[in-house]
Each structure stands twice: as C-alpha cells, then as structure tokens.
Amino acid sequence: MKEYLQKDIIEKHNKFDKEYKIIRKSDNSERWVNGKGELILDSENNLISMFGSILDITQRKHNEEEILQKNQLLQTINAEKDKFFSILAHDLRGPLSAFVAATQIISEEIQTMGIEEIKELTESMKISATNIYMLLENLLEWSRLKRDGVNFVPEKLNLRKMIELCIEILSESARRKKIEFDMSVSDDIFVFADNHMLDSTIRNFLSNAIKFTPTGGKVIISAEIINDHEIEVKISDSGIGMTEELKKKLFLLNEKTSRPGTDGEPSTGLGLLLCKEFVEKNGGKIRAESLVGKGSSFYFSLPSTVWK
C-alpha cells in the first residue's frame, strides 16, 4: 500500500481507489475495505493532504469468494459429468453392438443354423446382456449416490460372513476360470458399516480380481486390526497387474481406466469409483498396489466399533 500510495498516487497525482485488506495486529482479525480519495494540492502543485473515505466491503468480498468457489466447483462437476457420459457411451457401445449383431444373425440365418451355432450365439447374447445390466446397475448406483439417494445405515457386521456371501455369489465366475479363493479372516472380526455398501464394495473387488486373473490363478482375502477402531481388508490376486500410470488413474472420474479381462471380460472402471465412494462414506480409506505381471492388491479400511 505504501508503494501504491507513493508511486501511483503522490508521484502521478492520481485519484486514490483501492481495495485492500487490513489485519489488526492485536487479534489478527481481518477486514476488507475500499479506500477512495484525491489529493489536495496548493497553487504550485505541492501536496497538502488527501481527502476521501474508507468503506468496509468485507461481506461483499466474502460473497464474491463464495460465488467464485461455487463456479469453480460447478465447472469441475460439469467437466467430470461430460467425461463420465463419454466413458459410458464408449463402454455401452461394445456389448450393445455385439448383442444387436447376434440378434441380426439369428433373425436372418436361423433356418440354416445348427444347434451348436445357435447355442454359441445365445451364450454370446447372454454375456453381452449381463455386461450391459452390470454397467447400468453401477450407473444407477452411482447416480443415486451423487443425489444422496442411497440410504446410509451403518451397523455391526461380521466381516467373514459378508466375504463368504460375496464369494458364493461369484463362485460360478471363479469356477469357469479355475480360480481359487484363499480367505484368512477371523470369525471374530466385526466392522461398523452399511450392509449394502460393504457388500457392493467386496463384490466389486472380488469381481475385478477374477476378471484380471488368468485361468488357474488365485485370489487371497485377508483382514487385520490396524488400531483400536479400524480394520483393513486386503484383496490380492495373481493377475496381470497394472502400470504405475494406470494405478494413479484408478479412482478418478475424469480418467478412463477400463480394459478387458483375461478372458475378454469388459470393464468400465465405474465399480472402483463406487468402491471409493462407499468406503469413504463409511469413514474408511482405499488404496492399491500393483506390478505388471505380478498381480494387484486392493486395501480398504473400515471402522470396527462405533465412535463419535
């Protein structure tokens, strides 16, 4: 302010018009003000004094800052939404195209097709329809979460039983690829979490582990008590692993991380975003470790007891 006053006002004989912040030394309280004034000169153009006023504009500055932050947030949300729909469009196109092509073949050539050919095509249609369904299910879950439409009801849950139920649901997928589950989770470990969110998180991690593990591989599930009120779950696989670049993009909405599984299974990356949202909603954290060709490990923490 001294430099502004000397160089812009006194030396150039300009009017004073400046917004600036005042910090009171005694308690560090801050106020924004708008100072306005003009110089009073004598007949020989020498400075006599300055006449003006100071207006408190603290509330206006706070309002402007709030509007700026909201605008930046809105721009970020819109950019993420555009990227999100772009990813969805890309990932829906593949299975939908395959499904339409299969129905067209059946429609035009069913009279000349054998039972095995029809069986192969209908199996392909089933896979495409299942993939579309899973993608739309994750999409609906994501949209509900973003609208705060997902009920959050944390309760005491037996972790081992939750994992066993998820393994049972995915057992057929694992059986087809001859993938073995190895679980090391104590019966007496309980977490405080939302049942639906925990179930969805575990299933997504296990499904990804199966998807990116070659035939004959292994998926290992373990859990350990980190401290008095936190449990960390680890789900590892002997799969294809990830590059460092891909790993950094895993939980970012505006980055494309989808890639086919070891048997050509489609993937959108949306499941991992849901996992992150659900884990954080339950007060936990999520992270990943991986090496190309050496498999991946996903970790997520959950509260083990209720605390305020």
Strand runs (DSSP E) across 16-159, as ranges?
A: 16-23, 30-41, 47-56, 154-158
Rounded Cα gap, residues 87 and 129, in angstroms: 18
What average pLDDT does the structure give for the chain? 84
Residue 100: per-residue pLDDT: 83
DSSP 5: I
Contact predicate 290/245, CB 8 Å: no
Residue 204: per-residue pLDDT: 87
**Domains along the chain with CATH numbers:** 2-56 (2.10.70.100), 157-308 (3.30.565.10)
Strand runs (DSSP E) across 187-307, as ranges?
A: 190-194, 218-227, 230-237, 286-291, 295-303
Encode pLDDT of 12-34 as tens digits. Answer: 888 999 999 999 999 999 999 99
- Confirm whether pTM is higher than 0.75: no
Query: Which whole number is the average pLDDT over 165-182?
Result: 87
Question: Quick one: pLDDT band at residue 306, thresholds 50, 70, 90?
Answer: very low
Percent of the chain with pLDDT over 70: 84
Query: Which whole number is the average pLDDT over 251-263?
Result: 66
The pLDDT of residue 104 is above 70: yes
Please state which of the ranges 49-53, 172-176, 264-268, 294-298 shows the lowest mean pLDDT.
Answer: 264-268
